[in-house]
Amino acid sequence: MPGIADRLANVEVSASAAMTALARDMRARGIAVISLSQGEPDFQTPEHVVEAAHAAARAGDTKYPPTEGTAALKASIARKFKRDNGLDYAPDEILVANGGKQIIFDALMATVNPGDEVVIPRPSWISYADMAKFAGGVPVSVSCPQNNGFKVPPEELDAAITARTKWLILNFPNNPTGAACSRKEMQAIAEVMLKHPHVWVMTDDMYEHLLYDGFEFATIAAVEPRLRDRVLTVNGASKAYAMTGWRIGYSGGPKRLIKAMANVQGQSTSGVSTVGQAATIAALDGPQDLLAERAAVYRDRRDLVVDMLNKAPGISCHKPEGAFYVFPNVAGCLGKTSKGGRRIETDTDFVTALLAEKQVAVVQGAAYGMSPYVRVSYATDTDSLREACGRIQEFCRDLV
């Protein structure tokens, strides 16, 4: 029978998506699973945003959109970048896509040649490395250890860059650790990148508004303006405004890069849903109070989860600055056997046994490039979080 393209040989299915699908299937079979595996806000899209989409559809805004995004949304994005980040982007320096993931895919496909290296601080979102491979590139990891707050050591970053390096991808606040970089820490990264003018810098700022305890957001193009002409600033509506299903991502960057990315997008999906774009204008230009209100809820959830996980035998949980994930170390659980007779040798064994015996879904740290950890999403209601963490405590207490 006909074959499948070689380019997919080393591209893996997302472990978080696989775990979420498994939890969904178990629920469909009547099993009371609590899923802490997916990075999706449990809040509803704001009502004024939904109304804007409805009004756009009623007004006939349902035709093919420009590939790069509507003029109205690009103007709104420019205002957002200026208001929140102090960045000035012209309309031809902005691209709208079907989620932040497509922005990243467009950028890599538009720039990476076979053998080019993409430097990715680890642990990292699963898709960065696989998209780099899909584009023909070679992912290069830089370890961000817990004793450094899960942040990239500048000297290690410098050592990882070679003549073949095409991109550095930054994601702070981070998925899966929740770590965020201060302005000083981001400046240290910028100083390294100033030494390597042949490298593009991509900053995935999707969790920008999810920061706690007074921690202030820093994005690299604003911290170091001398890098602006080779920085792609990536963001979207999904996390901040609970609009994951609307699929709206956007970016600001150099005109020639944005033009190349639009060319890639024009041969894949073309433009983005018009009603989704209208909704995003309402989100970006509308009341912003909800961002702080929801961040306060997430902060309380973080504190609950960190406290409860640190009371689970064998688990040590770092308190992160942002996002809605914690990344606890489960080393103290390894080499033991669960109440159900499952041997726990790896973090993958841990999450598999936890789901089977306590019906709690989390994701193994190995999927993000660092073991023995697990990623726990607290983007769900507080009662479910308390119950899930109680089950994790029981699971750990029963290990022998």
Which pLDDT belongs to residue 252?
98
Residue 29 has pLDDT above 90, yes or no: no
Tell me 322's DSSP state: B
What is the residue type of 321? E
Distances in whole angstroms, Cα of residue 74 to Cα of each of 17, 150, 153, 336: 31, 34, 35, 54
- The pLDDT assigned to 177 comes to 98
Task: Please give the DSSP secondary-structure letter assigned to residue 63.
Answer: S
Q: What is the pLDDT of residue 181?
A: 98
Under the banding of pLDDT at 50, 70 and 90, the label for residue 165 is very high
- pLDDT-wise least confident of 17-21, 56-60, 155-159, 251-255: 17-21
84-104 tens-digit pLDDT: 999 999 999 999 999 999 999
Per-domain residue ranges of the chain: 6-44+290-397, 63-285
* Res. 371 pLDDT band, cuts 50 70 90: very high
For residue 250, give the H/E element and its range.
strand 249-252
What CATH code would you report for 63-285? 3.40.640.10
Contact present, 303 and 96 (Cβ < 8 Å): no
Give the percent of the chain with pLDDT over 70. 100
The stretch 341-356 carries a mean pLDDT of 96
- Quick one: CA torsion of 49, 53, 17, 319, rounded to 10 degrees? -10
Q: Give the percent of the chain with pLDDT over 90.
A: 91
pLDDT of res. 32: 84
Q: Note the pLDDT tens digit of each residue in 169-216.
A: 999 999 999 999 999 999 999 999 999 999 999 999 999 999 999 999
Write the single-letter amino acid at 99: G
Q: What is the pLDDT of residue 141?
A: 97
Per-residue pLDDT averaged across 344-366, rounded? 96
Contact 379, 37 (CB under 8 A): no
Element (H, E) at 394: helix 382-397
pLDDT tens string 215-264: 999 999 999 999 999 999 999 999 999 999 999 999 999 999 999 999 99
Summary mean pLDDT of the chain: 96
pLDDT grade for 60, boundaries at 50, 70 and 90: very high
**Is-cis flag, bond preceding 372, omega within 30?**
yes
Confidence of residue 74 (pLDDT cuts 50, 70, 90): very high
Q: What is the pLDDT of residues 310-322, one digit of tens each?
A: 999 999 999 999 9
Amino acid 4: pLDDT: 87
| Residues β-bridged to residue 361 | 35
Domain 6-44+290-397 has CATH 3.30.360.10: no
Q: What is the pLDDT of residue 146?
A: 96
Phi, psi values for residue 70, rounded to 5°: -70, 155
